[in-house]
């Protein structure tokens, strides 16, 4: 049995994983029958993330550990405590491991790649690092695949928001820069600007421009709330969209090199609640009112 629990990027703490993100992970809005598989997926992904982001592990060691996680999930090696719950959940639901395997490939990219040439290359990374998360959640709920494009846009936006608010930390601790190099160059700055105590006006302008592009992705997901059949999941989506737009607004006003962009506990709860209210209204207008308290769909 291979264990990776000792690997730590400093992000997680056992038992609190789903409470530490910018966006809800299997919140109480999700029906209990679907929370287990989603949390199993999340813990598997977090284990892989901790491997890729551990500053004390050599590249080859990281890749070997990621390979072991993958083999544990597919059953080609003895089970691991990180992979086994997800493997069992997939088997019980008759779901493919494809989405989890795509994420493992994204973490391999993280280990080996530290710069992105342009927006297109960054979006290519998001097809592996972000979009599979939404697709997995949709599959768990039995949603139609015509929900995927809107979900892909939202998940890519969430990933890029993380990149924007953590740009200094990623550069300082891992020499990893997700901000497209040509975007930085367009504003007359290089990646070394991310190591400064405060963002220069030029870097702030670049971050604002990337925030605008990210907001367009959130806009492309606007119909996801009403496309999703499951009412509980629909409201979770609405909460996530509201949180994403709020964080993008904070990124316009705050310097991620010297200030926290994350929402506090109260701000997170109030913003999510406002998103839920918007979601209820949208579904009512669309003739698809939420019935979550009655039957979960």
| pLDDT tens sequence across 147-176 | 999 999 999 999 999 999 999 999 999 999
What pLDDT score was predicted for residue 127? Answer: 98
Residue 41 in domain: no
Q: Is residue 79 part of a domain?
A: no
SS3 111: helix
- What stretches in the chain show pLDDT beneath 50? 1-20, 289-297
The confidence score (pLDDT) of residue 288 equals: 54
Q: How far is CA 246 from CA 67, 148, 190, 241, 270, in A?
A: 37, 23, 28, 9, 11
Answer for the pair 220, 245: CB distance below 8 angstroms, yes or no.
no
SS (H, E, C) 243-287: HHHHHHHHHHHCCCCCCCCCCCHHHHHHHHHHHHHHHHHHHHHCC
Q: Does residue 290 fall inside a structural domain?
A: yes
Does residue 168 form part of some domain?
A: yes
Domain around 229: 157-297
pLDDT of residue 253: 94
In a domain, 125, yes or no: no
Residue 53: φ, ψ to 5°: -100, 5
Considering the domain boundaries, does residue 174 fall inside one?
Answer: yes
Looking at residue 273, what is its pLDDT?
85
257 occurs within a structural domain: yes
Pick from 22, 5, 17: nearest CA to 264: 22
Report the domain count for the chain.
1
Classify residue 93: in a domain, yes or no. no
């Amino acid at each position: 049995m291979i264990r990776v629990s000792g690997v730590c990027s400093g992000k997680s703490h056992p038992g609190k994983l789903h409470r530490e993100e910018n966006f809800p992970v299997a919140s109480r809005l999700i029906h209990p029958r679907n929370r287990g598989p989603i949390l199993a997926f999340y813990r598997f992904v977090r284990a892989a993330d901790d491997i890729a982001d551990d500053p004390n592990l050599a590249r080859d060691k990281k890749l070997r550990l990621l390979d072991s996680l993958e083999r544990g999930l597919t059953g080609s090696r003895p089970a691991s405590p990180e992979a086994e719950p997800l493997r069992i959940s997939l088997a019980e639901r008759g779901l493919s491991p494809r989405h989890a395997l795509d994420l493992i490939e994204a973490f391999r990219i993280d280990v080996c790649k530290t710069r992105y040439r342009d927006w297109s290359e960054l979006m290519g990374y998001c097809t592996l690092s972000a979009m599979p998360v939404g697709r997995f959640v949709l599959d768990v709920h039995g949603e139609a695949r015509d929900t995927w494009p809107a979900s892909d846009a939202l998940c890519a936006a969430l990933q890029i928001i993380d990149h924007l608010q953590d740009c200094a930390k990623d550069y300082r601790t891992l020499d990893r820069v997700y901000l497209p190099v040509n975007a930085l160059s367009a504003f007359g700055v290089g990646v070394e600007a991310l190591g400064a105590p405060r963002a220069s006006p030029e870097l702030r302008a670049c971050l604002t421009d990337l925030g605008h592009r990210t907001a367009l992705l959130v806009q492309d997901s606007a119909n996801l709330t009403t496309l999703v059949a499951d009412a509980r999941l629909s409201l979770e989506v609405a909460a996530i969209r509201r949180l994403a737009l709020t964080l993008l607004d904070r990124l316009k006003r705050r310097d991620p090199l010297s200030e926290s962009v994350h929402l506090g506990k109260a701000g997170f709860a109030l913003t999510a609640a406002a998103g839920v209210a918007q979601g209820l209204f949208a579904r009512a207008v669309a003739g698809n009112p939420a019935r979550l308290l009655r039957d979960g769909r």
